[in-house]
C-alpha cells in the first residue's frame, strides 16, 4: 500500500508535466510548425514523384523514337517497287497495302510521340512551379521552426523544476512500478493509475472480469483491458 501511495504521489506531480506537455502540444507555434513541416515533407515526395515520372516519360519517348526510325527504315523495301512492277515480278496491290500499313504505323507512333512530348512538358512545368513554391515556403518553415523552439525555451525552466520534483518523488517508488508507469506514459496514457469505481474503470467505464477484481484485495492492481490503465481497489 505504501508503494501505491508513492506512485500516486509521483503521478500528482507528473500531472503538472502532462499539463505542460499538453500546453506545448496545443500551442499555435507548434501547430504552425507542424503544418509547414507536413507541407515540406509532402512537397518533397511530390517533387521526387515528378522527377521519376519525367525520367520514365523521357525513356518512353526515346524508345518510341527508336521504334519510329526502325519502322521508317522498312519503307526502303518499297524504293524499287516501280521496277518490280514493270518487270512483272510484283503484286502492286499487295505492296500498296503493306506500304499503307507501315505509314499508318508511323502515323500512330508519331501521334504517341506528340502526346508524350506534351506530357513531358506538363510534368516539367508542374515540377518547376512546385519547386518555386517550395522555395518560398522554406523561409516560412524556418521561421515557424525558430518560433516554436523559442516558445519551448520559455517553458524549459518550468519543465526542469517539475523534472526535479519527479526525480525526488521517484525515490520512494519501486523500480518495477516506476518502469511500468513510465512505459505507459510514453504510450500517451495519463493518468496511469486510478481507483476502480463501483466495479468499473474510472477512465473508460469498462467492467473488469470478477476474477480480475478479486486481485485488488490486499493492495493489488490490475490493468484495464480496454484503456490499459492500472487500477487499484476503492
The pLDDT of residue 98: 78
8 Å CB contact between 4 and 176 = no
The pLDDT of residue 2: 65
Residue at 4 is within a domain: no
Torsion of the alpha carbons at 182, 188, 193 and 198, rounded to the nearest 10: -160
Mean pLDDT of the chain: 90
Q: Sorting pLDDT into bands at 50, 70 and 90, what band is 94?
A: confident
Mean pLDDT in residue range 3-22: 95
Query: CB-based contacts of 60: which residues, under 8 Å, 6+ apart?
Result: 116
Mean pLDDT in residue range 4-20: 96
Residue 106, H or E segment: helix 92-154
Closest listed residue to residue 227, CA positions, set 197, 198, 202, 199: 202
114: containing domain:
20-156
Cell numbers 513531358: residue: 120
CA angle 211, 203, 20 (to 5 degrees): 135
Q: What is the edge-to-edge ordering of all strands in the sheet holding 221-223?
A: 193-195, 230-232, 221-223
Among the ranges given (142-146, 147-151, 215-219), the one the predictor scored with the smallest mean pLDDT = 215-219
8 Å CB contact between 37 and 134 = no
Residue at 170 is within a domain: no
Residue at 67 is within a domain: yes
Residue at 211 is within a domain: no
54: CATH: 1.10.287
Mean pLDDT in residue range 49-67: 93
Residue at 172 is within a domain: no
Residue at 165 is within a domain: no
8 Å CB contact between 66 and 112 = no
Total number of domains in the chain: 1
Q: Sorting pLDDT into bands at 50, 70 and 90, what band is 82?
A: low
Q: CA Rg, the chain, in Å? A: 37
Grid coordinates belonging to 131: 519547386
Amino acid at each position: 500500500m505504501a508503494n501505491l501511495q508513492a506512485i500516486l504521489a509521483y503521478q500528482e506531480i507528473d500531472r503538472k508535466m502532462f499539463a505542460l506537455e499538453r500546453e506545448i502540444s496545443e500551442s499555435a507555434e507548434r501547430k504552425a510548425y507542424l503544418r509547414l513541416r507536413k507541407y515540406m515533407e509532402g512537397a518533397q515526395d511530390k517533387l521526387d514523384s515528378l522527377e521519376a515520372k519525367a525520367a520514365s516519360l523521357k525513356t518512353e519517348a526515346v524508345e518510341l523514337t527508336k521504334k519510329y526510325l526502325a519502322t521508317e527504315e522498312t519503307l526502303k523495301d518499297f524504293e524499287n517497287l516501280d521496277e518490280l512492277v514493270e518487270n512483272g515480278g510484283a503484286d502492286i496491290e499487295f505492296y500498296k497495302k503493306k506500304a499503307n500499313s507501315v505509314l499508318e504505323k508511323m502515323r500512330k507512333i508519331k501521334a504517341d510521340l506528340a502526346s508524350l512530348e506534351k506530357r513531358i512538358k506538363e510534368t516539367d512545368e508542374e515540377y518547376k512551379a512546385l519547386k518555386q513554391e517550395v522555395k518560398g515556403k522554406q523561409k516560412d518553415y524556418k521561421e515557424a521552426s525558430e518560433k516554436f523552439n523559442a516558445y519551448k525555451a520559455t517553458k524549459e525552466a518550468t519543465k526542469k523544476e517539475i523534472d526535479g520534483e519527479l526525480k525526488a518523488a521517484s525515490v520512494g517508488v519501486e523500480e518495477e512500478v516506476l518502469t511500468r508507469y513510465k512505459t505507459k506514459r510514453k504510450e500517451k496514457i495519463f493518468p496511469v493509475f486510478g481507483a476502480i469505481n463501483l466495479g468499473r474503470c474510472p477512465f473508460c467505464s469498462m467492467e473488469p472480469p470478477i476474477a480480475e477484481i478479486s486481485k485488488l484485495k490486499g493492495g493489488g492492481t490490475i490493468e484495464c483491458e480496454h484503456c490499459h490503465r492500472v487500477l487499484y481497489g476503492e
